[in-house]
Amino acid sequence: MKSTPVAKGATVAPASKEIQPVPLLITVAVALIIWFIPVPDGVKPEAWHLLAIFLGTILGIILKAASMGTMSMIAIAMVAVTGVLAPGNPGKSISMALSSFGDKVIWLIGISFFIARGFIKTGLGSRIAYLFIRVFGKSSLGLGYGLGLADLVLAPAIPSNTARGGGIIYPIMKSMSMNFGSFPEQPETHRKLGSYLTLNCYNINLITSAMFLTGTASNPMCQKFAKDLGIDITWMSWMWAAIVPGIISLIAVPYILYKIYPPELKKTTGATQMASDKLKEMGPVSRNEWLMLTAFILLLILWITGDLFKIDATTTAFIGLVFLLLSQVLTWEDVKSEKGAWDTIVWFSALVMMGSALNQLGLIPWFSGLVKAQIGQLSWTMAFPIIILVYYYSHYLFASATAHVASMYAALLGVGISVGIPPMLLALSLGFCGGIFGTLTHYGHGPAPVFFGSGFVDVKSWWSRGFILSIVLLVIWMVIGGAWWALIGVY
């Protein structure tokens, strides 16, 4: 067989090493240790063994022993081979290991990824961003608000906050910074504009991720785990609860960052002209952009009125995708090539399958009872902030919001319910934390590596400002939000 010739002077990029042997060995060792620990009283052996596989998978994701997809495939294989879900029945065992691939929540998030491709392919996402910059971009603070509003508009239909922040907002933000003399490769120019816009755009992305059920990939996972415990969260109920603390956060965060991490450049009148030039370059709104906008409006209407017409969020997502395919805004090749969507469907299915099975096998109720015995004397009003703070600040230990949600959400929700915290209040509060706890670190959420990778913000500045914003966001969401939730009957 002939080898493929390499052009003279060309360099061949080394193949990426997906499997990391040492972290993988650590992962396997920890899983085996948990597996062979004597099963505690009150726990079924198969539940304990599934826990070993589940925690091993989470640890592998955290340590980056392999990609999330590879770790998920390993987990599915181990669940099937060990028969923990159907002892002595190999055929049923593999069926149960694959059961979550048919879950409607999995397909909601997967199809929303396909729809998000339409915003990027048609250019509608960038056009929306430039329109806001043209209106608000006369100052650096206004530029922060303009980019934030663009993220807000796009968030309901783009569930990958990495695609939304990294694929649409970040390139525009970086271009704006460089046009005003703030260059990533020149540290002395970072504080001119780039540093402020980087932290602002990242944190706004987290807020909009928390505001909509379809704002980030981990939100539907929360919905699924809550449903397993008898708590029904709809797209509308999530948005309605998040709307007030979300809007207050969107107003507060750019201004607070402007004060605690101010840009040297205050006036950016040239940004409006740059946005106008970009819009002229894009030309008039194309047919496909109009069709994409129509699909977006249709999705929002059906998501908002779904309860009234008995159309759930997943059915709405299918309707939107079919509309885009029939109108040829998207092709089937676009759908097939959307690797992020198929990747998410795989790892999402594996984690949801194991998380749901742990509840069905009684491990979550057992753990809840164990913790209740320790804190059962506390009133729910005392237990609620403790659970929220533990969940929020434990995110320092996680490099993946999904891994954090998968490993702790259902367990803490079960604990909280067992001590009397109103179920819907806790389910939504923990769900919202799944977006905003990303403010803590430069690895805390999907878009973090993209924004941090720009080089505009050093680690110390990121962590210190992130900690300040964590306090601000917790006060807004749990105090002001709590008052709003009481008013609308969440508890």
Cβ contact 275:209 at 8 Å: no
Tokens, residue 112: 């929303």
Residue 76, pLDDT score: 93
The whole-model pTM stands at 0.79
Residue 401, pLDDT score: 84
Mark the ranges of the chain whose per-residue pLDDT is less than 70. 1-16, 307
Residue 139 phi/psi, 5° resolution? -135, 165
Cβ contact 111:318 at 8 Å: yes
Length of the chain: 491
**Nearest-CA neighbor of 199 among 457, 5, 454, 482?**
457
Residue 476, pLDDT score: 97
Q: How far apart are CA 165 and CA 155, in angstroms?
A: 10
Residue 392, pLDDT score: 95
Q: How far apart are CA 404 and CA 397, in angstroms?
A: 9
Environment class of 339 (CB within 10 Å of its CB; exposed 0-12, middle 13-18, buried 19+):
exposed
Residue 374, pLDDT score: 76
Q: How far apart are CA 213 and CA 260, in angstroms?
A: 31
Residue 252, pLDDT score: 97
Cβ contact 434:405 at 8 Å: yes
**What does the H/E/C string look like for the chain?**
CCCCCCCCCCCCCCCCCCCCHHHHHHHHHHHHHHHHCCCCCCCCHHHHHHHHHHHHHHHHHHHCCCCHHHHHHHHHHHHHHHCCCCCCCHHHHHHHHCHHHHCHHHHHHHHHHHHHHHHHHHCHHHHHHHHHHHHHCCEHHHHHHHHHHHHHHHHHHCCCHHHHHHHHHHHHHHHHHHHCCCCCCCHHHHHHCHHHHHHHHHHHHHHHHHHCCCCCCHHHHHHHHHHHCCCCCCHHHHHHHHHHHHHHHHHHHHHHHHHHCCCCCCECHHHHHHHHHHHHHHCCCCHHHHHHHHHHHHHHHHHHHHHHHCCCHHHHHHHHHHHHHHCCCCCHHHHHHCHHHHHHHHHHHHHHHHHHHHHHCCHHHHHHHHHHHHHCCCCHHHHHHHHHHHHHHHHHHCCCHHHHHHHHHHHHHHHHHHCCCCHHHHHHHHHHHHHHHHHHCCCCCCCHHHHHCCCCCCHHHHHHHHHHHHHHHHHHHHHHHHHHHHHCCCC
CA 480 to chain centre: 23
Residue 442, pLDDT score: 86
Q: How far apart are CA 166 and CA 59, in angstroms?
A: 26
Q: How far apart are CA 376 and CA 349, in angstroms?
A: 34
